[in-house]
Chains A and B, each alone.
Chain A
Amino acid sequence: EPEVTQTPSHQVTQMGQEVILRCVPISNHLYFYWYRQILGQKVEFLVSFYNNEISEKSEIFDDQFSVERPDGSNFTLKIRSTKLEDSAMYFCASSRGLAGQGRDTQYFGPGTRLTVL
């Protein structure tokens, strides 16, 4: 069964450093997403991406964040200057994007635990 993969599983960084979280979505999926979950809190939407453009983003996704699909398989989330409050689990998800249908199931990866010291 195809699945979303993410690397690394755990990233530790110093405050102010840049980090790049990587994801490989399911191969025939067209929409890609990033979510985060601070320990003990809800899963929060960050951004969705389609056709090499951001299609939707939340208030959390400020100028410190960026996303990119550098090649045909990877989807990355960059945090330019990390803050302590960026410590969280970051989940990548992808969906098929079936045009004309109301449903579009998002499949999540295992997550990257980001720890900012």
Chain B
Amino acid sequence: LAKTTQPISMDSYEGQEVNITCSHNNIATNDYITWYQQFPSQGPRFIIQGYKTKVTNEVASLFIPADRKSSTLSLPRVSLSDTAVYYCLVGGGAGNMLTFGGGTRLMVKP
């Protein structure tokens, strides 16, 4: 299983763009990169998933360079409610376990 490394914590202010980078040097050819958000005492919430280049949805963008050894989650104009833990995971295939690391604890300040 590919291991991921991401910053333990980040601080930001309301209205700013936040970029969280994750490294996954041992990503396998068929692995996808998935980001989840988790609030205290709640289940992880799917944010975005991608394989290469750039993916954008209504809440975030995901940038993946050509070598796929890292990825960057971009949250545009964060608000206080974006304060949460963000997890980067790699893997793929139905039935496969997800291996969660410690995630990045994002604190958005007013």
Contacts and interface: CB of A to CB of B under 8 A. Distances in A.
B100 A42 contact: yes
Interface residues of A, number: 33
A109 B44 CA distance: 8
A interface, by DSSP: helix, strand, loop or mixed?
strand
A25 interface: no
B45 interface: yes
Interface residues of B, number: 26
A89 B94 contact: no
A22 to B, nearest CB: 15
Q: Chain B interface secondary structure, helix, strand, loop or mixed?
A: loop
Interface in A64-105: 89, 91, 93, 95-99, 102-105
B94 A97 contact: yes
Contacts of B30: 102
A102 B95 contact: no
Interface in A30-86: 30-31, 33, 35, 42-45, 48, 50, 55-56, 58
B31 interface: yes
Interface string B29-53: 0111010101001111110010100
Interface of B: 30-32, 34, 36, 38, 41-46, 49, 51, 87, 92-102
Interface of A: 4, 30-31, 33, 35, 42-45, 48, 50, 55-56, 58, 89, 91, 93, 95-99, 102-111, 113
